Amino acid sequence: MIEPGPLTVKMRRICLELARVRGERGLTQKDVERLLGIPSSTLSRIESCERAVRRDDLSALLAIYQVARPVREAVLELHREANLPSLLEEADLHVHDELATWVGFEEHAVEIRNYEHFLVPGLCQTEDYARAVIENYGLPLERSEVHRRVAARIARQGLLRREGGPRLNVLLHEAALWQDVGGPDVMREQLRHLAALADRPGIEVRIVPGGVGAHPGLVEGAFVILDFVGLPSLVHIEHMVHSLYLEEKPDANAYKAAFNGILAVAHGARDSVDLIRKLGEGL
């Protein structure tokens, strides 16, 4: 499980990856100290995300761990980008650590798979819809904090317009289309926006019909899977007051299987867009 910490999100991912591959190679921190001269105490702080890893040390560690070239290149590229400004920083938005962590992961992903049952995903929300969700989330938020969270959610969507941005695959239960969030005018605009997004290259929205019967989404609830080049996939599960990140391969594979199981009962892409537009026109 990944927890927020003082390092940038990308640097934390590097440190955790170093710990993972060392374990896979069966090396102890003392073994690495003998091989490279990096003190085991320093390596411990790196692997626990208390200290950033220098690029030359990173290259040496990847070499003795015999990391495959595609993974090595991905990690080194991530290190190069570790201190570049995020979408939120570019927009001069200061948000809580949980959100900053999540945005950092999203920005580095090559594919995002999102299942939602009651709400349109944050990456697909209009500003008014996002405000209605955040204002009624059940947390006592000041008006300024609501504004910051709405602005951050809209800023996140910039990654879908970036050249080479991630592919987005959304599975959305039909119930979310009927959920009256913000009133008819807000929902009408939201459904129009969702249909327009689904027509864009690299974005697919599939609707899960309400009468389809049992499927994995009824058990698991909402979740997001992020896929990366050369790095393990990451699963994100959001709760009201905190988020859970899973990166162990069996966990990620279980959620990928769940996503595929839900996909198997969903409407096709074209039928889904037609349904979204039909419901939007009826409001």
pLDDT digits (tens, 9 = 90+) for 150-174: 998 898 898 898 888 899 999 999 9
- In terms of domains, do 138 and 57 share one? no
Query: Does 101 map to a domain?
Result: yes
pLDDT digits (tens, 9 = 90+) for 81-122: 776 655 544 444 444 455 666 777 888 889 999 999 999 999
- In terms of domains, do 69 and 117 share one? no
Query: Does 2 map to a domain?
Result: no
Query: Does 268 map to a domain?
Result: yes
| Domain termination site, one of 30, 47, 81 | 81
CA distance 81 to 248: 24
pLDDT band of residue 5 (cuts 50, 70, 90) is very low
- In terms of domains, do 25 and 76 share one? yes
- In terms of domains, do 167 and 272 share one? yes
Mean pLDDT, all residues of the chain = 87
Query: Does 221 map to a domain?
Result: yes
How many residues are given for the chain? 283
- In terms of domains, do 32 and 122 share one? no
Full-model pTM: 0.75
Structure tokens at 259: 């996503």
| Residue 1, pLDDT score | 45
Q: What average pLDDT does the segment 226-250 reach?
A: 83
- The residue ranking higher by pLDDT, 129 or 97, is 129
Backbone angles phi, psi at 168, to 5 degrees: -125, 120
CA distance 209 to 270: 14
- In terms of domains, do 245 and 167 share one? yes
Can you give the CATH number for the domain in which 270 is found? 3.30.870
Query: Does 190 map to a domain?
Result: yes
| Residue 99, pLDDT score | 61
CA distance 159 to 151: 14
The DSSP-derived string for 149-218 is: HHHHHHHHGGGGTSTTPPEEEEEEETHHHHS-SS-HHHHHHHHHHHHHHHTSTTEEEEEE-TTS---HHH
CA distance 281 to 46: 54
Query: Does 264 map to a domain?
Result: yes
CA distance 258 to 188: 30
| Domain termination site, one of 42, 57, 81 | 81
CA distance 95 to 156: 12
**Total tally of structural domains belonging to the chain:** 2
Structure tokens at 190: 């939201």
Domain with 245, as residue range(s), is 94-281
CA distance 277 to 164: 28
| C-alpha separations of 46 from 43, 58, 194, 272 in Å | 5, 10, 42, 46
